[in-house]
Amino acid sequence: MNNELVLILDFGSQFGQLIARRVRELNVFCMIVRHDISADRVRELNPKGIILSGGPSSVYEPNAPKCDPRIFDLDIPVLGICYGMQLVCQALGGTVGGADAREYGRATLSVSDANSLFRGYPVESTVWMSHGDQVRSLSGDFVPLAATATCPLAAVKHKQRPVFGLQFHPEVAHTPHGKQILANFLRDVCGCQGLWKMQTFVEQTVAGVREKVGDKRVICGLSGGVDSSVCAALLVKAIGQQVACIYVDNGLMREGETEIVRHTFRDWFKADLHVVDAKEQFLSALEGVTEPQEKRKIIGRVFIDVFKHEAKSIPGAKFLAQGTLYPDVIESGGSADGPAATIKLHHNVGGLPKELGFDLIEPLRDLFKDEVRKLGLELGLPEDVIWRHPFPGPGLAVRCLGDVTEEKLSTLRKADTIFLKELKDAGWYRKTSQAFAVLLPVQSVGVMGDGRTYEKAIALRAVQTDDFMTADWSRLPDDLLAKVATEIINRVKGINRVVYDISSKPPATIEWE
């Protein structure tokens, strides 16, 4: 995409996308690629540097993922992190074995060589460890740079080659000064100037879309969320009326969703907008279904059926555009041939059958949520659209636990609307990254007036996060929570109890299903 490219070789680390995010924050463009990318392909891409991610494997296992060893002969700077470090050291003459004690959590790092990677870094600092193996001995070509109490080779450098290794994770928030290490690697070792900006992304993506699409038409699915809205706005900027935006009203949307989409794209951008009322199709297909992944599959299947039907009214349509982001990709198992584990299915990633008949365009696939918001502002989208909280592809179906009915959705929608309005009125909406209500499949005893009630419960969820890969629950004021609970119980028929979710991700996910 530009002449300052860094490649991140994916060995299945849960933190792989965090590495990419940190590199982007330093204004250097990066791509996550297969761990076994060939040295010839790397030479063609001509990156300024290569980062080897961590991973769950042991380097001495028979089928452990390996990289092409010729990469180390290209004279391109390499930084191995955790498993990546072990792989580098093993490939260049060191030995790796099980640690005396598995390290998981914070450790104190002592720096012995403050040059190169550790320029301007504290002599002692906290780092985050997550490993069962470690480098046990080095060949004479490596020198140690830092150690912890249980890991004497926590950071190393090759004497002749621009090759480095870190046993800890500099990309996570638990390593407070980790970004400084990455900055030193990118700037001092790789020679990057930090030239990648959002305007650059817009220019290059617009040019790429125009070249790929030619005179054909593109169908873009709109959900009303930030991702699909920014995707559509980018396509409208690139190819104008060649893009047809399809909004499927599946009956699983938030309050007022259809009106917002109409106003934004038909009135604001003058886009070719098709609104499809498919509520009955979705609710009929979901009748009696309680298993979360099955819900997602059904919604994805019906979504595609509706799209295919509506697409027949759009002559010359050859491409389907989606607002897929990096977090969507990693949670659905990474790239189609990558080693990451599947956490949950996103219908806009995993539900597209080959027989769809369209070529796929995913212009936001390399971006994180905060980058998408910056892009939206760059494209001129209204701020109330840009700062809308994320909304799952399957909509309220995965916030209505158990079976999905029109009555339950109505109850949930009312409670959710109250919660979000109170957050906005109290100035807390922009302070939280995502907030929503969940309708629980349980009933509990209550008292209203002089009578006993036996009604449903609503769970409130509000989290704060930088990247949506990890998240902590929002410490909302007690009086705000009390007001929300009172409003919901008094105004939403069938609810007599409100609870607040204080679990973090991990171990929980942000959504309940």
Residues assigned a catalytic role: 82, 169, 171
Count of CB atoms situated within 10 Å of the CB of 294: 12
Cβ contact 302:345 at 8 Å: no
The binding site for ATP comprises: 223-229
- Contacts of residue 184, defined as CB under 8 A and 6 or more positions apart, other chains included, come to 116, 117, 118, 119, 120, 121
Size (the chain), residues: 513
Q: What is the DSSP letter of 267?
A: I
Query: In which order are the strands placed within the sheet that holds 124-137?
Result: 29-34, 5-10, 49-52, 78-81, 163-166, 155-158, 142-147, 95-111, 124-137
The binding site comprises: 223-229
Radius of gyration of the chain (CA): 25
DSSP-derived pairing of the beta strands 49-52 and 78-81: parallel
SS3 readout for 367-387: CCHHHHHHHHHHHCCCHHHHC
Tokens linked to 100: 């005396």
Q: What is the DSSP letter of 173?
A: T
Distances (CA, A) of 264 to 29, 40, 55, 295: 31, 46, 43, 29
Tokens linked to 320: 């389907």
User: d(Cα 238, Cα 319) in Å, to the nearest integer?
Assistant: 14
**Backbone CA torsion sign across 321, 322, 327, 332:** negative
Q: Is 448 exposed, middle or buried (0-12, 13-18, 19+ CB in 10 A)?
A: exposed
User: d(Cα 510, Cα 244) in Å, to the nearest integer?
Assistant: 32
Cβ contact 478:424 at 8 Å: no
